Amino acid sequence: MKASYFTKYGPPEVLEIRELPVPNPSSKEILVKVMASTVNSGDVRVRALNASGLMKFAMRLLVGWSRPKRPVLGVTFAGVVEKIGSEVTGFKPGDKVFGLTGFRFGCHATWLVAPENSMVVQMPEKTKFEDGVAVLFGGQTAVSFLHKMRLPEIKQAKVLILGATGSVGTAAIQLAKYYGAEVTAVCSTSGKSLSAGLGADHILCYDVEDFTKIKDRFDIILDAVGKYSQKQCKHLLKPNGKFKTVGGMEYASETRDQITLLAEMLEKNRLQPVIDKVYPLEEVREAHRYVETGRKKGNVVIRMAHG
């Protein structure tokens, strides 16, 4: 099989396309023919070991101290079950599935194995692989952070999404709308029409206006780009309001229910996949370069070819 492989941290040039053996599923695993994946801010960060201070220490412990423990990056996949282990009961060959591999990575390859009880679920039949895969990274992160702030329990919540046009931000707008919130999105002028199209009720362009001067008060503020602080936003919160940022030490905890929710939203046409660019696996370096700019709108998809 083909895979994007790296043996040392560094610029996109450390990635090379290698031929590797197709993995064999153990008794509790499924073998997936991967049709699409994404390059996320997380992949780029790990490839470059881009973090500082305590975060860098934690990152080295997780992904490999001096060289990567997992030479194939990629945490999202959409594809078709090819083969199942002898004890697998929840999937069968031919099932359309999508999911996340977390710190196991391994999705930038044409085949992967995943434990049956891991973050993998059936993908809606009508959803295209590239669309399905594009909602996973940002969607799972947004669900995790917004649920931790108890959004589903707040009636007609007022929600402020800072950094509304990235992978996490575009999903966060749609999730907040799904739960009936009134959403204010902060993005640049170039992201205004995207935010509006995703359902944001009010939009503030950070390159034109200072969002900290907003008169409104919010139940929930999510910094979906990791560039803002609670201190900056404290006065914008209602008395019981909550602030969280994706940029700190807090991780988006993963549960299977989160992807099941994303699948349901796709099924009901309540979640619009936002795809900025699609690259073939062979152009994975280009994809990393683009994601590394920090300016992508939504998601960057990797398309797998099966000869």
Going from the C-alpha of 157 to that of each of 24, 119, 153, 212, 216, the distances in angstroms are 47, 29, 9, 19, 12
Does residue 141 bind ligand NAP (CB under 6 A)? yes
Near ligand NAP in 86-115, by CB under 6 A: none
- Of the candidate residues 252, 274, 284, 287, the single one contacting ligand NAP (CB under 6 A): 252
Long-range contacts of the stretch 181-185 (C-beta < 8 A, 24+): 181/151, 181/154, 181/156, 181/157, 181/220, 182/156, 182/157, 182/158, 183/159, 184/158, 184/159, 184/160, 184/214, 184/216, 184/218, 185/161
- Of the candidate residues 91, 105, 111, 206, the single one contacting ligand NAP (CB under 6 A): 206
The residue of the chain with the least Cβ separation from ligand NAP equals 166
Does residue 294 bind ligand NAP (CB under 6 A)? yes
| CB atoms near residue 19 (< 10 Å) | 8
Residue 123: name the closest of 291, 264, 5, 222 by CA. 264
- Of the candidate residues 57, 65, 103, 251, the single one contacting ligand NAP (CB under 6 A): 251
Q: Can you tell me whether residue 237 is helix, strand or coil?
A: strand
Q: Is 193 exposed, middle or buried (0-12, 13-18, 19+ CB in 10 A)?
A: exposed
Does residue 226 bind ligand NAP (CB under 6 A)? yes
Does residue 301 bind ligand NAP (CB under 6 A)? no
Near ligand NAP in 153-192, by CB under 6 A: 162-163, 165-169, 186-188, 190-191
Does residue 127 bind ligand NAP (CB under 6 A)? no
Minimum separation from the CB atom of position 52 to ligand NAP (A)? 13
Minimum separation from the CB atom of position 171 to ligand NAP (A)? 8
Does residue 138 bind ligand NAP (CB under 6 A)? yes
Does residue 247 bind ligand NAP (CB under 6 A)? yes
Give residue 216's identity as a one-letter amino acid code.
D
User: What is the binding site for ligand NAP (CB under 6 A)?
Assistant: 40-42, 45, 138, 141, 162-163, 165-169, 186-188, 190-191, 206, 225-227, 246-247, 250-252, 294-297
